[in-house]
A and B are shown apart, each in its own frame.
Chain A
Amino acid sequence: MEQELGISVKNVSKRFGDFVAVDRVNLEIKAGGLAALLGPSGSGKSTLLRLIAGLELPDEGQILLTGKDSTYEQVQDRNIGFVFQHYALFKHMTVRENIGFGLRIRRVPHKQIKARVDDLLELVQLRGLGDRYPHQLSGGQRQRVALARALAVEPKILLLDEPFSALDAQVRKDLRQWLRRLHEEVHVTTVFVTHDQEEAMEIADHIVVMNKGKIEQEGTPAQIYDHPATPFVMQFIGPVNVMHRQKEQVFIRPQDVVVTLSPPTEPGTFTDRARVKRIINLGWEVQVELSLDDGQSLMAHLSREQFADLALTVGQVVYTTSKDERSFPLDYVI
Chain B
Amino acid sequence: MVLYLLLMLFLPILTLFATGFSLPPDRFWSIATSNLAWATYGITISLALGSAVCNGVFGTLVAWVLVRYDFPGKKLIDASIDIPFALPTAVAGVVLTTVYSENGILGRLFAPGSPLGSLWGEEGLRLAFARPGVFIAMTFVSLPFVIRTVQPVLEDMEKEVEEAAWCLGASPATTFWYVIFPPLIPSILTGVALAFSRAVGEFGSVVIIAANLPFDDMVSSVLIFQRLEQFDYPGATVIGIMMLFLSVALLFVINLLQNWSSKSG
Q: A102 vs B167: C-alpha distance in the bound complex, in angstroms?
A: 9
Count of B residues near A, CB < 8 Å? 19
Known: A88-B160, A90-B161, A92-B182. A106 touches B169 (CB 8 A): yes
**B169 touching A88 by the CB < 8 A rule?**
no
Q: A92 vs B186: C-alpha distance in the bound complex, in angstroms?
A: 11
User: Which of the residues A86, A91, A102 comes within 8 Å of B169, measured between beta carbons?
Assistant: A102
Q: A152 vs B165: C-alpha distance in the bound complex, in angstroms?
A: 13
Known: A105-B174, A106-B169. A88 touches B161 (CB 8 A): yes
Q: A78 vs B168: C-alpha distance in the bound complex, in angstroms?
A: 9
Task: Say yes or no: is A153 at the interface (Cβ < 8 Å to chain B).
Answer: yes
Chain A residues whose C-beta falls within 8 Å of the C-beta of B183 in the assembled complex:
91-92
Q: A101 vs B168: C-alpha distance in the bound complex, in angstroms?
A: 7
Distance (whole angstroms) from the CB of A213 to the closest CB of chain B: 22
Task: Say yes or no: is A20 at the interface (Cβ < 8 Å to chain B).
Answer: no
Count of A residues near B, CB < 8 Å? 27
Q: A149 vs B167: C-alpha distance in the bound complex, in angstroms?
A: 10
Q: A160 vs B137: C-alpha distance in the bound complex, in angstroms?
A: 53
Distance (whole angstroms) from the CB of A74 to the closest CB of chain B: 8
**A53 touching B264 by the CB < 8 A rule?**
no
Task: Say yes or no: is A164 at the interface (Cβ < 8 Å to chain B).
Answer: no
Which of B158, B160, B166, B169: most chain A CB closer than 10 A?
B169
User: Which of the residues B166, B168, B171, B182 comes within 8 Å of A149, measured between beta carbons?
Assistant: B168
Chain A residues whose C-beta falls within 8 Å of the C-beta of B164 in the assembled complex:
82, 84, 88-90, 146, 149
Q: A129 vs B142: C-alpha distance in the bound complex, in angstroms?
A: 43
**B169 touching A76 by the CB < 8 A rule?**
yes
Task: Say yes or no: is A81 at the interface (Cβ < 8 Å to chain B).
Answer: yes
Task: Say yes or no: is B122 at the interface (Cβ < 8 Å to chain A).
Answer: no
**A84 touching B160 by the CB < 8 A rule?**
yes
User: Which of the residues B158, B160, B165, B264 comes within 8 Å of A101, measured between beta carbons?
Assistant: B165
Task: Say yes or no: is A51 at the interface (Cβ < 8 Å to chain B).
Answer: no
Distance (whole angstroms) from the CB of A170 to the closest CB of chain B: 25
* Per-position binary interface string of chain A over residues 67-83, scored 1 when its CB falls under 8 Å from any chain B CB and 0 otherwise: 00000000111111110
Which residues of A114-142 have CB atoms within 8 Å of chain B's CB atoms? none
Task: Say yes or no: is B163 at the interface (Cβ < 8 Å to chain A).
Answer: yes
Q: Which chain A residue has the least Cβ–Cβ distance from B166?
A: A75
Task: Say yes or no: is B244 at the interface (Cβ < 8 Å to chain A).
Answer: no
Known: A90-B161, A91-B183. A76 touches B166 (CB 8 A): yes
Task: Say yes or no: is B211 at the interface (Cβ < 8 Å to chain A).
Answer: no
A-B contact pairs, 20 of them (CB 8 A): A55-B163, A55-B167, A76-B166, A76-B170, A82-B163, A82-B167, A84-B163, A84-B164, A85-B160, A88-B164, A90-B161, A90-B164, A90-B165, A90-B179, A91-B183, A92-B182, A105-B170, A149-B164, A149-B168, A150-B168
Q: Which residues of B contact A (CB under 8 A)?
A: 158, 160-161, 163-171, 174, 178-179, 182-183, 264-265
